[in-house]
Amino acid sequence: MNLLLTGCFKYSDEQMEVLRSLGYNVYFMQQEKKELPLEASKLDAAVCNGLFLSHDIDQFSRLKFIQLTSAGFDRVPVDKIKARGMELFNARGVYSTPMAEWAMFRVLEHYKQGWFFRKEQEGRRWVKHRGLREVAGMKVAVVGAGNVGQEVAKRFKAFGAETTGFDIHTHETAGFDHMVLTETIHERVGEFDVVVVTAPLLSSTLGLISREVLLAMKQDASLVNIARGGLIDEQAMCEVLAERKDLFAALDVFETEPLAEDSPLWRLENVAVSPHNSFVSDGNNARMFAVIYQNLKNFIEL
């Protein structure tokens, strides 16, 4: 079988050999926008990220297996893939730990005034801050109770917070004290001190965190987005955050990336911006390769 690997994952020579040992003819391309190293019609499997944004999937007539290195499916033509009965896998579980830690870090950084103390340290000033807060006893909403959301909830629970998951079901879910339907976010958001967004970007979740939801947030609440920028109405968020100085937003993802230099989000004092970096970790390579290997092994043994 012919397997295409792309530069969306950094393979060691040893990892390449392990995949070849499964029985694959391995072809590699660094940039997914570039010319394919083999005719699309001759490929049986691919490990990629945004490959089909630049190459028409209809040209991959033999393709039966796609492994994504992303957790989301928003960069692949899912309907076509399903219609052709192709096997499609994402990076489920690979990035959950660092993303959950990032959400926890951003809230703690805000509650414990990390920016303030760093600024005072740079000025060599011995200044106390009397406005520090505790996570213990806070109510935390996690919008999207999947793998990432569960890891987020577990960490906040460990700090003594009460956790509520918003999803398309209300089944008992690990890490959550309560589960409610996503459609209730507008009427319930005012109850929470922290709202963490981890849901997938779908037509049903586009702009889920609307102007109305933002305006309804609790006094002094924090919003953390580690999912996709499109889940929040960005223009409305800019306006609401400029108006409501009590709110704090830690944003790792945006509607358009990189974030434009003229975006007001860079300048708002109640916003922490990071460049889609929450998933980065020294543990990702081993977890991702384990997923790639196991799924490719299962596929070739069918």
Scan for tokens 């399903």, then name that residue.
82
Burial of 207: CB neighbours in 10 Å, binned 0-12, 13-18, 19+ = middle
**How far is 196 from 273, CA to CA, in rounded Å?**
15
Question: Is 109 among the catalytic positions?
Answer: no
Torsion sign, CA atoms 145, 220, 158, 164? negative
Among residues 75, 188, 276, 287, the one annotated as catalytic is 276
Among residues 55, 106, 155, 228, the one annotated as catalytic is 228
Strand order in the sheet with 248-251: 178-181, 162-167, 139-143, 194-197, 222-225, 248-251, 271-273
**How far is 146 from 182, CA to CA, in rounded Å?**
13
Query: Do 157 and 163 touch, CB atoms closer than 8 A?
Result: yes
Which of these, 258, 182, 245, lies nearest to 213 by C-alpha position? Answer: 182
Q: How far is residue 243 from each of residues 107, 215, 270, measured CA to CA in Å?
A: 21, 10, 11
Question: Is 276 among the catalytic positions?
Answer: yes
Q: What are 165's strand-pairing partners?
A: 142, 179
Among residues 62, 243, 257, 267, the one annotated as catalytic is 257
Burial of 2: CB neighbours in 10 Å, binned 0-12, 13-18, 19+ = middle
Q: How far is residue 63 from each of residues 16, 26, 33, 128, 203, measured CA to CA in Å?
A: 20, 14, 18, 61, 26
**How far is 214 from 120, CA to CA, in rounded Å?**
32
Which of these, 92, 133, 152, lies nearest to 294 by C-alpha position? Answer: 92
Residues annotated as catalytic are 228, 257, 276
